[in-house]
Amino acid sequence: MKIIVAIKQVPERDAPMRIAGKWIEEADLQFAMNEPDAYALEEALQLREKHGGEVAVVSVGPERAGATIREALAKGADRAIHIVCEDLAARDALGVARLLAAAIRPENPDLVLTGLQSEDLGLGQTGVIVAELLGLPHSTLILQVEKTGGGENRIRVKRELEAGWFQFIEMPTPAALTIQSGGNKLRYATLMGIKRAKTKEVRTLAAAELDAGGEPVVRLEQISLPKKQKSTQILPGTGKEAAAALVEKLKFEVRVL
């Protein structure tokens, strides 16, 4: 099985939110692999362990995304494609998906996996758009992927529905899936993995060379800090003082004690 996993580098959780123009101040930020994409990579690595084949990762992003690509290689991906793109923010979801599709198309993979959404923009669309651009059947919020028997090129996936419901879906390969978190346990990169990653192939493609075309149709105009929906009463002091103040509130105002 040949599997391509699309991964994204995103700001780490709890990153400070200092607004600078149409985005937050990047100098403040540390970056990490988008966690849903880490689950997609994990699913791909486990499928390779079961059925053999190859796992390649692809990422669109500036130079710094190289660190996240190395992390994926250290976890066990065989090789990588880095679509170097310094103007990611100027592209809409379709624009980014076009770059990914242009890089994936010549690879002819059996499966294209990605996380269900990114932790920064949270669009939750890239995997589906890539599927559409590549003409592949797709499914979203997948927790588990298995090959069905009989030598046919078919898979059965477990899809999460809302409110604790699930369903199985069967489809032919090649296919594209967006992976929900929690289907597997994430692995850590081993020291050996980190060492090996240094010798693995990372092919770089310039976004401009991919000729992926198309002007954006949606534009982010402005960002702002959200307004509070409620006025939160912050209880100050040491842990002990704040706890005592909270007990008073629970007793006399919320009346649950």
- Contacts (CB under 8 A) with other proteins, residues 107-166: 119-125, 128-129, 131-133, 137-141, 159-166
CA distance linking residue 130 with residue 139, whole number of Å:
12
Q: What x-and-dash track marks residues 169-208 binding other proteins by CB under 8 A?
A: xxxx-------xxx--x-----------------------
Q: What x-and-dash track marks residues 215-244 binding other proteins by CB under 8 A?
A: -xxxxxxxxxxxxxxx-xxxx--xxx-xxx
Q: Min. distance of Cβ 47 from other proteins in angstroms?
A: 19
The one among 3, 5, 11, 73 contacting other proteins by CB under 8 A = 11
Interacting residues of 7 by C-beta distance below 8 A, sequence separation 6+: 33, 34, 37, 38, 40, 41, 57, 58, 59, 68, 69, 72, 114, 115
CA distance linking residue 71 with residue 62, whole number of Å:
16
Q: Min. distance of Cβ 48 from other proteins in angstroms?
A: 22
20 in contact with other proteins (CB under 8 A): no
The one among 14, 27, 30, 199 contacting other proteins by CB under 8 A = 14
Q: By CB under 8 A, how many residues form the interface with other proteins?
A: 81
- Binding to other proteins (CB under 8 A) within 42-101 occurs at 92-94, 97
Burial status of residue 60 (CB atoms within 10 A of its CB: 0-12, 13-18, 19 or more) = buried
Cα-to-chain-centroid distance, residue 171 = 23
